[in-house]
Each structure stands twice: as C-alpha cells, then as structure tokens.
C-alpha cells in the first residue's frame, strides 16, 4: 500500500512520539518512510525500558507535550489498556498531536483471531494474539478491537478524520517463536481539539452500525 510521505515544509524537525515503544522504535517500518530527519520521542509505562517520557497513556499528559507532535504512533499498545479506559487513552493520543497531525494506531486483529477460533485453531498463536505473552504485568492484552470498533471510537471523539483503516499481515515474534497473523491499522488526522464538555465522556457502541 502506498504511503503518504510525511515531511515538514519548514526547518523544524518533524516531531514523532512512539507511545508504548518498549525497548525501541521502528518508525520506518510502521510508516514506510525514512525517519532520518525526525525528532523521535519514546514514551512507555515501564521505567526499565528507559523511555524519554515515562507515561501511562490512560493518565493526564505532561502539559508540555499537549499539541506538540506532528505524528503520534501507538504500535501494539492500545490492547494493553483496559477496555473501559480505551476512550481515555484514545483521547490522550489525540491530545498529543497538533491540529493537522497524524495518529497511527496498530492493534492485533480481532477479526483474524476470531476466524482462527471458528476454524478450530486455538493454539499458542491465537492465544498470544488475544492475550499477550504475559511475561510481566505490562505484557497482558486487556482489550481487543475490530477495524470497525477502532473507527467508531475515533469518530466518536469528533476530533479526527479517518484517513485509512485496514487489516494487514503481520509477523508476530515471541522469543524464538515466530508466526504469521494479522493486525488492524487506523490512520487519522486531528482536525480539532478534544472537547471534554461534549465528547468522549464514556461511550456506548452497542447501537452503532
């Protein structure tokens, strides 16, 4: 799939934050473009990962980073947040971005896992995708999403335009164990600030079609 080339038109560096980056960021693999001229910040809840910003994505942002970034990436991070807190996390991802900024969110594909279960395949591949590797408390999956759920959650905020939403193949690695699965990707553009007075105070998707 062709990717938009995200570049700055002035002399300032393109500012990117990788939320839930773990031990390192692989921005080029996620976006499909060179990040040599980008200023990349790593944010993570785990102090042992030595992030640039120690932060729980469900909690209030440090003020200096609100509206600071041209691009926000959450690569296999949102599934580690409790489902009832997912809207808070999504609001915070939006807050990080400038108006016109781009937000990438990538999660394991609930559609893929469901199809595997329906085919009678409930081996360790599916369990890892659904529940995480569970090595420590931060490696558990606490929620799962279809593409439609991701789109609905972001559109519910009233603050973004969905630019792309799709499922793609993904190579999952756990130690020496490697297998093919799928992941869901949504790319949105921030068009207005989050308004807590009218949007994002709880949510219900039960009646959305």
Residue 71 lies in a domain: yes
Residue 173 has what pLDDT?
79
Residue 9 has what pLDDT?
47
Residue 201 lies in a domain: no
Helix (H, G, I), strand (E, B) or coil at 84: helix
Contacts of 17 (CB under 8 A, 6+ apart): 40, 41, 42, 43, 53, 65, 68, 69, 71, 72, 73, 96
Residue 74 lies in a domain: yes
The gap from C-alpha 101 to its chain's centroid, in whole angstroms, comes to 14
Residue 62 has what pLDDT?
87
**Residue with tokens 């999403």, as numbered in its chain:** 145
Domain count, the chain: 1
Residue 34 has what pLDDT?
62
Residue 176 has what pLDDT?
78
Residue 7 has what pLDDT?
47
Residue 138 lies in a domain: no
DSSP state of 49: G
Residue 27 has what pLDDT?
72
State the residue range of the domain holding 159: 14-108+143-167+183-190
Residue 30 lies in a domain: yes
Q: What is the CATH number of the domain that holds 71?
A: 3.40.50.150
Strands 177-190 and 160-174 turn out to be antiparallel
DSSP state of 145: B
Residue 134 lies in a domain: no
Kindly report, residue by residue over 119-153, the tens digit of the pLDDT. Answer: 999 999 999 999 998 989 999 999 999 999 999 99
Residue 76 has what pLDDT?
94
Nearest to 195 by CA among 95, 79, 127: 95
Tell me the pTM: 0.86
Residue 70 lies in a domain: yes
Residue 35 has what pLDDT?
66
Low-confidence ranges of the chain (pLDDT < 50): 1-10, 198-209
Residue 76 lies in a domain: yes
């Amino acid at each position: 799939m062709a990717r938009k080339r995200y570049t700055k038109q002035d002399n300032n560096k393109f500012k990117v934050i990788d939320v839930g980056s773990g031990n390192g960021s692989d921005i080029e693999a996620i976006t499909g473009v060179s990040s040599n001229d980008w200023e990349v910040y790593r944010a993570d809840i785990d102090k042992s990962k030595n992030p640039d910003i120690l932060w729980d994505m469900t909690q209030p942002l440090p003020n200096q980073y609100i509206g600071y970034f041209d691009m926000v990436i959450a690569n296999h991070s949102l599934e580690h947040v409790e489902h009832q807190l997912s809207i808070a996390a999504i609001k915070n991802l939006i807050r990080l971005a400038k108006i016109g900024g781009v937000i990438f969110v990538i999660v394991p594909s609930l559609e893929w896992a469901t199809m595997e279960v329906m085919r009678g395949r409930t081996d360790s591949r599916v369990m890892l995708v659904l529940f995480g590797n569970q090595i420590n408390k931060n490696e558990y999956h606490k929620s799962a999403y279809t593409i439609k759920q991701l789109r609905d959650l972001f559109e519910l905020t009233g603050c973004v335009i969905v630019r792309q939403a799709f499922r793609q193949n993904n190579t999952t690695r756990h130690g020496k164990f490697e297998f093919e699965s799928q992941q869901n990707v949504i790319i949105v553009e921030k068009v207005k600030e989050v308004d807590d007075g009218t949007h994002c105070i709880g949510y219900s998707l039960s009646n959305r079609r």
